[in-house]
Amino acid sequence: MISHMTFIVHDLIKASLFFETIFDAKEVYNSGMDTFSVAQEKFFLINNELWIAIMQGESLPTKTYNHIAFKIEESEYDRYLERIKAIKLEIKPGRSRVVGEARSLYFYDFDNHLFELHTGTLEERLECYQQLG
């Protein structure tokens, strides 16, 4: 069970905009000028259950394919695409897919973290691969 995820970000305000706009995250803590941990930080909840922490620091120096994926419904795909475009995030072309593998949106936040929004499940993907193999 995951407790929380922490992202190091250059600008807490821009990172807040990212999580609030894309994931409807609700800010539940702001350290302000205090540093109880290793840097100024903010905490968010996504869907009132997933704890996201952002801490001020240096952005990732490069973009990679390391990413975290969030499950979305197929019917929400276009709505999320519009949110990503609204704050001018870089959308990464998706990898090639086999039929039945569902759809994904890949995009970078303001600090080079790669996120994926995926419409499928592990079970669906394994079933798809088994049928093809």
Q: Which residues are catalytic?
A: 41
The rounded distance, in Å, linking the Cα atoms of 88 and 93 is: 15
Last residue of a domain, one of 58, 79, 97: 58
The predicted pLDDT at position 124 comes to 86
Tell me the whole-structure pTM to 2 decimals.
0.89
User: Which residues form the domain of 49?
Assistant: 1-58
Tens of pLDDT, residues 61-104 = 999 999 999 999 999 999 999 999 999 999 998 777 777 778 89
* CATH number of the domain residue 70 falls in: 3.10.180.10
Across the range 11-33, mean pLDDT stands at 97
| 67, 31: one domain | no
Number of structural domains the chain divides into: 2
With residues binned 3-state (H G I as helix, E B as strand, rest as coil), the percentages for the chain, rounded to 5, are: 25, 30, 40
Selection from 105, 130, 109 nearest residue 118 by Cα: 105
> What span, in angstroms and rounded, lies between the C-alpha atoms of 56 and 15?
10
Relative to beta strand 26-30, strand 4-9 is unpaired
Q: Are residues 79 and 41 in the same domain?
A: no
